[in-house]
Amino acid sequence: MTKNDHPSPQVLRYNDLVPFLQDTLNYRSQVNPRYSLRAWSAELGWKEPTSLSLILKRKRKLPLELLPRLRKSLKISGTEASYLRSLAYLQQAKNADERERWVRNADRIRRRGSLNVQEISSFEQWADPRLTAVRLAAGLQGSKKDVHWLSKRLRGKLTVDEARAMVSLLVRSGRLREDEKSDRWTMVEEHLWSKVDMPSTAIRRFHRQSLEAAIASIEEQSLDEREFASYMLNVNLDKIPAMKKRIRDFAKDFVSEFAVSEDSDAIYQINLNLFSRTT
């Protein structure tokens, strides 16, 4: 039997962690008859298969600290990794409120599938980060279909005329929906990503303005409102592609876990930068 005879189990198709793990083991055993419960246990760092066996029989819950090794074993990241995490926390829920929270979280991630990402080849019209903020403002609690409200609600200088022009562009491009019967715009849930490593003056302008906003936040926002961290390390240049991929996977994972589509409290921006300090 080859891998093409039956597709491998996809975690996004499961509502329960245990059947997914059971089907994954069965699939691997079918593809490779020498693969066993003991082999998978060893791959996950256990010397004996007892713990994994008890998990598959629902006699023990999956330890949360095992998630990084399980994700590595399954070769998943981004949305799938976030969904797996939700199923693991759902299994650990101590009460009905916790269970409901993780059920909603898992459902939100699965409905978004692959984050509804649209990769764009032309970034020119999205070069101003405030445009994204205007779109996301439609998902804020108490949002109004009012450019004056937008101008006051968003940090940074945004004139009423600029807000009006940005709303017009977003509506025309399908990023916002406008219903005459509603008193608020509707945000289309879709995250935009530029093509990987695409040289672009517009993209450079976007990052420059994003960094300028981050610099301003150091003086304008309290420590409770922001988080800054910086690290320097010695690396080998042949690892740069893997480092960049890890950052991109983290970004999608982060968005998948924390983005809220409706009635959010605030709009936040996370900037990830990797650059050389040597010539």
Look at residue 17 in the predicted model and tell me its pLDDT: 92
- Write out pLDDT tens, residues 255-273: 877 887 677 899 999 999 9
Look at residue 191 in the predicted model and tell me its pLDDT: 58
Rounded Cα gap, residues 273 and 202, in angstroms: 17
Residue where one domain finishes, among candidates 72, 88, 114: 114
Residue 103 domain flag: yes
User: Could you tell me if 102 and 93 are in contact, meaning their C-beta atoms sit under 8 angstroms apart?
Assistant: yes
pLDDT grade, residue 58 (50/70/90)?
very high
Residue 5 domain flag: no
Residue 131 domain flag: yes
Structurally, how many domains does the chain consist of? 2
| 65 token code pair | 């600290």
| 68 token code pair | 């990084």
Q: Are residues 168 and 110 in the same domain?
A: no
* Average predicted confidence (pLDDT) for the chain: 85
Q: Evaluate the CA torsion angle 123, 207, 243, 110 in order and state its sign.
A: negative
- DSSP conformation letters of 43-110: HTT-SSSHHHHHHHTTSSPPPGGGHHHHHHHHT--HHHHHHHHHHHHHHH--SHHHHHHHHHHHHHHH
Residue where one domain finishes, among candidates 58, 87, 114: 114
Query: Could you tell me whether strands 117-120 and 191-194 are parallel, antiparallel, or unpaired per DSSP bridges?
Result: parallel
Look at residue 199 in the predicted model and tell me its pLDDT: 61
The neighbour count for residue 146, using CB atoms within 10 Å, is: 16
243-251, long-range: CB < 8 A, 24+ apart: 243/274, 244/274, 247/272, 247/274, 248/196, 249/77, 249/78
248: domain range? Answer: 120-258
Q: Are residues 124 and 254 in the same domain?
A: yes
Residue where one domain finishes, among candidates 60, 89, 114: 114
pLDDT grade, residue 106 (50/70/90)?
confident
Q: For the chain, what's the residue count?
A: 279
Query: Higher pLDDT residue, 151 or 6?
Result: 151
Instruction: Check pLDDT > 80 for residue 2.
Output: no
Q: Are residues 80 and 169 in the same domain?
A: no
CA Rg value for the chain: 22
Whether the model clears a pTM of 0.85, i.e. scores above it, the answer is: no
- Write out pLDDT tens, residues 63-74: 999 999 999 999
Q: Are residues 45 and 86 in the same domain?
A: yes
Q: Are residues 70 and 184 in the same domain?
A: no
Rounded Cα gap, residues 269 and 265, in angstroms: 13
